[in-house]
Amino acid sequence: MVKILGLEALTYELLIDIGIPFLAIVFFLEGSLFGKLLPTDFILPAAVVLYATQTRHYFLLVTFTALSSTIGQYWLLIQVRKNKEKILEHRYIKVAEDKLEKAEDKFERHGLKAVFISNMIPGVRGFLTIPAGMERTKPWKFVLVSGAGTAIYHSALVAIGIGIVTIF
């Protein structure tokens, strides 16, 4: 048995104890930038190991977690549209000024295409939600591109989980 340390161990225990509701909460928080400290890149493959016994389970995990993340990003988009300063000063949403400037630049140059691509890149996922909200992007367009990019990324994480199940 592989020994898991630290935050990953706690996350694994919560995943076992709480299950699917834990996934919804974690991925909503990740999408809304409140949960960037949680190891979501660990959680989804672990969920595959724990819960996915049939092919349809893989599809359901991708769909459910991508939807939860996208709802979190949508919530953040709406909050930024309402009051950017308040959201950026929130104690649980930590966005460094230089990261925000880079995100604004990427969004200015590439628009929603940058949101789509960034949602497939660990470490920057979701940050373009802030400039998208500042530019008053239409929510339905944002949800489509954000959800698509997130679903692709989550599919890759589920594939890692399938690989782990196959190896062990």
Range of the domain at 14: 6-167
Which comes out higher in pLDDT, residue 97 or 63?
Answer: 63
Which comes out higher in pLDDT, residue 153 or 10?
Answer: 153
First to last CA, the chain: 10
Instruction: Classify residue 57: in a domain, yes or no.
Output: yes
User: What confidence tens digit (pLDDT) does each residue in 107-155 have?
Assistant: 999 999 999 999 998 877 888 998 899 889 999 999 999 999 999 999 9
User: What confidence tens digit (pLDDT) does each residue in 155-164 have?
Assistant: 999 999 999 8
Q: In this model, does residue 24 exceed pLDDT 50?
A: yes
Q: Which residue has the tokens 């599809």?
A: 59
Which comes out higher in pLDDT, residue 130 or 15?
Answer: 130
Instruction: Classify residue 94: in a domain, yes or no.
Output: yes
Dihedral of the CA atoms 145, 102, 29, 78 (nearest 10)?
A: -60
Cα distance between residue 34 and residue 76, in whole Å? 10
User: What confidence tens digit (pLDDT) does each residue in 40-86 have?
Assistant: 788 888 888 887 777 888 888 899 999 999 999 999 999 988 887 76
Q: What is the pLDDT of residue 8?
A: 67
Q: What is the pLDDT of residue 3?
A: 47
Instruction: Using alpha carbons, select from 138, 110, 166 the residue that is nearest to residue 119.
Output: 110
Instruction: Classify residue 85: in a domain, yes or no.
Output: yes
pLDDT confidence band for 9 (50 / 70 / 90): confident
Instruction: Classify residue 21: in a domain, yes or no.
Output: yes
pLDDT confidence band for 2 (50 / 70 / 90): very low
Instruction: Classify residue 17: in a domain, yes or no.
Output: yes
Instruction: Classify residue 22: in a domain, yes or no.
Output: yes
Instruction: Classify residue 1: in a domain, yes or no.
Output: no
Q: What is the pLDDT of residue 145?
A: 96
Residue count (the chain): 168
- Averaged pLDDT, 93-103: 75
Q: What's the domain count of the chain?
A: 1
Angle at 59 between CA 166 and CA 28, to 5 degrees: 110
Instruction: Classify residue 18: in a domain, yes or no.
Output: yes
Give the CA diameter of the chain.
49
Cβ neighbour number for residue 112 with a 10 Å cutoff: 19
- Sorted by sequence, the CB contacts under 8 Å of residue 127 that are 6+ apart come out as 33, 95, 99, 100, 103, 118
Q: How far is C-alpha 53 from the geometric centre of its chain's CA atoms?
A: 24
Q: What is the pLDDT of residue 149?
A: 96
